[in-house]
């Protein structure tokens, strides 16, 4: 992702003020679906937001993101991983296939 111009950020290491600045200045945000994505309320209208999530059953209901950012371009990337390493699948590890995910990102950052 860095070769496409993305910056790797660990939001949990940032102050609240730094998180607000980061999200308010971002054109595109990509990352695992989780608490840090609540910061999309600070994004500018039209910001592309791409939360990564497991796409199984009721775990695929990510209606929270459009409610937090109604003026954002929210594109949910669902993976059909089994999430077998944790009893509660939201906490499961997952692996992105670089070629497939790279093509997905390319299709959304081009325009």
Rounded CA-CA distance 54/60 in Å is 7
Give the chain's count of helices (H) and strands (E). Answer: 3, 4
Residue 109 banded pLDDT, cuts 50, 70, 90: confident
Tell me what pLDDT residue 85 has: 45
Tell me what pLDDT residue 99 has: 83
Per-residue pLDDT tens digits for 26-60: 988 888 777 888 898 898 888 888 887 765 544 45
pTM as predicted: 0.71
The contacts of residue 11 (CB under 8 Å, 6+ apart) are 19, 22, 36, 39
Rounded CA-CA distance 89/3 in Å is 30
Per-residue pLDDT tens digits for 65-107: 667 766 777 676 655 554 444 445 555 666 777 788 888 888 8
């Amino acid at each position: 992702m860095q070769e496409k111009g993305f910056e790797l950020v660990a939001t949990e290491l940032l102050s609240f003020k730094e998180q607000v600045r980061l999200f308010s200045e971002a054109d595109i945000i990509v990352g695992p679906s989780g608490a840090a994505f609540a910061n999309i309320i600070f994004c500018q209208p039209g910001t592309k937001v791409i939360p990564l999530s497991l796409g199984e059953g009721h775990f695929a209901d990510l209606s929270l993101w459009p409610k937090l950012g109604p003026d954002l371009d929210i594109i949910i990337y669902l993976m059909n991983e089994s999430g077998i390493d944790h009893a509660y699948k939201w906490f499961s590890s997952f692996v992105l296939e670089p070629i497939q995910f790279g093509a997905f990102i390319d299709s959304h950052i081009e325009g």
